[in-house]
């Protein structure tokens, strides 16, 4: 296995693991740490996490697969997660999705060839009153309009 | 009828510039309830909360004091308190602000709950998307600990409590309390068969109480003012205040704290500025899982548990979704069946297959490839998935399916051919 956690990440993990009476409970935090460390969760990273908490790689994999926020493939520098659930739908999330799909030529789950953007429609982000909303990586963007979405993409392209 | 103007309890620090810091919190009587708390016995705290009539704000509306009373006395095992901050029910968005704008209020409520149930270790399970809120909570926990409001011997009371945040990773089902516990144990968030109930065998096999954010944040006010004062707000069955939300086709969507009891239409008009884009067609009153109501049904609906029950729906999370007259109910229901089939954890066949089947049937209906027979099939599938699964997700899908089709059948029939026309059995 070529991947390794940094000393800093390992120390952070040991601090977190102490919060639980059993190490296995620290699997979700371990996967989060791995995702921060490596940008996504390649199979080797999932195996590393399994080793940290003392479960089998298969058990760690099924957990990584179960939760939608763990990236099982390498995404773009900016991961656009557009909410598509009811309140956002009623306020135009389909138009927002269309802007992303047309402007970046992306289908759900895809990444642009330059690695700058990836795109995934997601379920309710609890921004129902500020919809349509989305997350770019961990940050919320709310009260979206097609024009704002276009401008945001232009802005992120330059970064 | 409940009062419509009252002192806010849960949102009073929302507009203060430093409301989410310990300094701002203490300046506005934060942690003041602890003095009262530590003068009571745990049983007295439970009795006070029972007297308040406080119901769980997460959606199920279970009486909070009664739940706490289920913890076995003198348990040999550790007792855990877990906060359900996995706010994911579509139409619901207020726990997010409470954690962001007044994290110490949640901690203060947690100290009271932990004291009442004899817990010395508590976790706040926060949905993965709320990273900002997790950071704010972590900072608040650290501040509180440094100032002696958490950790060993809180304020000289002899009571110890450690609180940790735990980040979810994107799964609606972890809002279900036993799915949440599985997730907290580092597993897939698949709900457990009950009994045993978490109060007997919950987190790590130990007695556990799981409460919603706003439920716990309501407790400090109850301790300071008394359960009877809390029960005096709202109505007999729906006591206290709630942070009600409005989204969808609404002029000024948002959230407002008020006692239970306001008429729904007044809420929409006065607080939400009225319906956007046309006349009112329908309201989903308490998060997407609660049965939809027609505009006519809303005429005498109030924001109370009892009025919702009389209208064969639920108070749920208090997040109402409003739809105007131009709304295509078929497309909205398709959105919901997609949501539930996507979020089904997959362990029970009626749910895993049923939610996906409903979604496929709607796809077929929207494509104009179905007859009215498919509508009846959808109702049959709904009946066959509800009550046949470990948790309530199947019911959460069945209830919208049934209420949408029964109350807005005309919208659905527009897409359907007559029952006598032969069509393909199913589409993938």
d(CA B259, CA B6): 7
Closest CA–CA distance from residue A99 to any residue of chain B (Å)? 19
Q: How far apart are CA B88 and CA B101, in angstroms?
A: 19
Closest to B185 (Cβ–Cβ): which among A25, A29, A122?
A: A25
Residue where a domain stops, chosen among B186, B203, B231:
B231
Residue at which a domain ends, from B231, B249, B273 = B231
> Is residue B208 classed as helix, strand or coil in its secondary structure?
strand
Q: What would the DSSP string read from start to end of B363-378? A: HHHHTT--BHHHHHHH
Three-state SS at A54: coil
Q: Structure tokens of B194? A: 């009950």
Inter-chain CB proximity A32 and B169 less than 8 Å: yes
- Do residue B96 and residue B224 come from a single domain? yes
Tell me which of A12, A28, A125 to substitute to probe the interface with B (most B C-beta atoms closer than 10 Å): A28
Length of chain A: 159
Co-location of B172 and B188 in the same domain: yes
Record: contact A126-B88, CB cut-off 8 A:
yes
Q: Are B209 and B168 in contact (CB under 8 A)?
A: no
Residue B140 confidence (pLDDT) above 80 = yes
In the structure encoding, which two tokens stand for residue A6, read together?
Answer: 């940094």
β-strand partners of B104: none
Closest by alpha carbon to B213, among B118, B309, B127? B127
Structurally, chain B folds into a number of domains equal to: 3
Q: Is residue B81 part of a domain?
A: yes
**Region class of B151: left (phi > 0), else alpha (psi between -120 and 50), else beta:** left
Are residues B189 and B42 part of one domain?
yes
Check the CA dihedral A36-A40-A42-A43 and report its sign. positive
Number of helices (H), then strands (E), in chain B: 19, 9
Q: Answer yes or no: do B42 and B175 share one domain.
A: yes
Please identify, among B272, B295, B324, the residue that sits at the C-terminal boundary of a domain: B324
The pLDDT assigned to B425 comes to: 63
Q: Residue B424: is its pLDDT beyond 70?
A: no
Closest CA to A84 of A73, A71, A72, A68: A68
CA B4 – CA B12 distance, rounded (Å): 16
- pLDDT at residue B1, as a whole number: 34
Asked if ipTM goes beyond 0.90, one says yes
Q: Give the domain CATH number at B53.
A: 3.40.50.11540
Same domain, B43 and B62: yes
Residues B246 and B168 in one domain: no
Q: Does B2 fall in a domain?
A: no
- What was the pLDDT predicted at B157? 97
**At B3, is the pLDDT very low, low, confident or very high (cuts 50, 70, 90)?**
very low
In this predicted structure, the answer to whether residue A75 has a pLDDT above a threshold of 50 is yes
Regarding whether B221 and B148 lie in a shared domain, the answer is: yes
Over its C-alpha atoms, chain A yields an Rg (Å, rounded) of 18
Does one domain contain both B186 and B47? yes
Domain check: are B127 and B250 in the same one? no
Which domains, and CATH codes, for chain A? 7-66 (1.10.10.1590), 78-158 (3.40.30.10)
Residues B71-107: pLDDT tens digits?
999 889 999 999 999 999 999 999 999 999 999 999 9
DSSP annotation of B162 reads E
DSSP 3-state assignment of B246?
A: strand
Residue B3 lies in a domain: no
- The reply to whether B264 falls in a domain is yes
Between A27, A29, A126, which is nearest B87 by CB? A126
Of B190, B211, B188, B209, the residue nearest B200 (C-alpha): B209
Tokens of A59: 């058990």
pTM of the prediction? 0.96
| Domain carrying residue B368 | 329-413
Domain match, B246 and B221 both? no
């Amino acid at each position: 296995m070529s991947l390794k956690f940094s000393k800093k990440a390992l120390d952070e993990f040991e601090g977190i693991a102490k919060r639980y009476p059993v190490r296995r409970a620290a699997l979700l935090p371990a996967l989060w740490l791995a995702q921060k460390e490596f940008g996504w969760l390649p199979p080797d990273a999932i195996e590393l996490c399994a080793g940290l908490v003392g479960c089998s790689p298969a058990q760690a994999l099924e957990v990584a697969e179960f939760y939608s926020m763990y990236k099982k493939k390498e995404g773009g520098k900016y991961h656009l997660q557009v909410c598509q659930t009811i309140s956002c739908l009623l306020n135009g999330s389909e138009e927002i999705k269309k802007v992303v799909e047309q402007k970046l030529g992306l289908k759900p789950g895809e990444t642009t060839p330059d690695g700058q953007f990836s795109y995934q429609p997601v379920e309710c982000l609890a921004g129902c009153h500020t919809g349509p909303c989305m997350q770019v990586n961990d940050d919320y963007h709310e009260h979206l309009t097609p024009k704002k979405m276009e401008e945001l993409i232009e802005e992120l392209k330059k970064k | 009828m409940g009062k419509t103007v009252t002192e806010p309890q849960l949102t009073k620090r929302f507009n203060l510039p430093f409301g989410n810091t310990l300094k701002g919190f203490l300046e506005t009587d934060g942690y003041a309830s602890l003095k009262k708390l530590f003068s009571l016995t745990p049983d007295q705290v439970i009795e006070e909360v029972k007297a308040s009539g406080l119901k769980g704000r997460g959606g199920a509306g279970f009486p909070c004091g009664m739940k706490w009373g289920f913890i076995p006395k003198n348990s040999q095992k550790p007792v855990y308190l877990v906060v359900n901050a996995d706010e994911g029910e579509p139409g619901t968005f207020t726990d997010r602000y409470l954690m962001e704008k007044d994290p110490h209020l949640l901690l203060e409520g947690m100290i009271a709950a932990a004291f009442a149930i004899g817990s010395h270790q508590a976790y706040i399970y926060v949905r993965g998307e709320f990273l900002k809120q997790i950071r704010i909570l972590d900072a608040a926990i650290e501040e509180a600990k440094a100032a002696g409001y958490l950790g060993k011997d809180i304020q000289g009371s002899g009571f110890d409590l450690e609180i940790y945040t735990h980040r979810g990773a994107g799964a609606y089902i972890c809002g279900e309390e036993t799915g949440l516990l599985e997730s907290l144990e580092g597993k897939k968030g698949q709900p457990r068969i009950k009994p045993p109930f978490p109060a007997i065998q919950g987190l790590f096999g130990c007695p556990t109480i799981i409460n919603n954010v706003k439920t716990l944040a309501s407790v400090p006010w109850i301790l300071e003012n008394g359960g009877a004062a809390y029960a005096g707000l709202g109505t007999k069955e729906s006591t206290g205040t709630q942070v009600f939300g409005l989204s969808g086709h609404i002029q000024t969507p948002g959230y407002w704290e008020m006692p239970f009891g306001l008429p729904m239409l007044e809420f929409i008009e006065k607080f939400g500025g009225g319906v956007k884009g046309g006349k009112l067609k329908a309201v989903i009153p308490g998060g997407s899982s609660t049965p939809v109501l027609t505009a006519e049904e809303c005429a005498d609906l109030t924001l109370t548990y009892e009025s919702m029950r009389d209208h064969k729906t639920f108070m749920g999370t208090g997040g109402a979704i409003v739809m105007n007259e131009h709304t295509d109910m078929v497309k909205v229901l398709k959105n919901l069946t997609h949501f539930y089939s996507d979020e089904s954890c997959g362990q029970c066949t009626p749910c895993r297959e049923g939610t996906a089947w409903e979604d496929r049937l709607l796809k077929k209906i929207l494509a104009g490839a179905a007859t009215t027979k498919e509508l009846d099939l959808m109702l049959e599938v709904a009946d066959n998935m509800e009550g046949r699964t470990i948790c309530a997700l199947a019911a959460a899908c069945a209830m919208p399916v049934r209420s949408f089709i029964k109350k807005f059948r005309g919208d659905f029939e527009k897409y359907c051919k007559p029952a006598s026309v032969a069509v393909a059995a199913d589409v993938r």
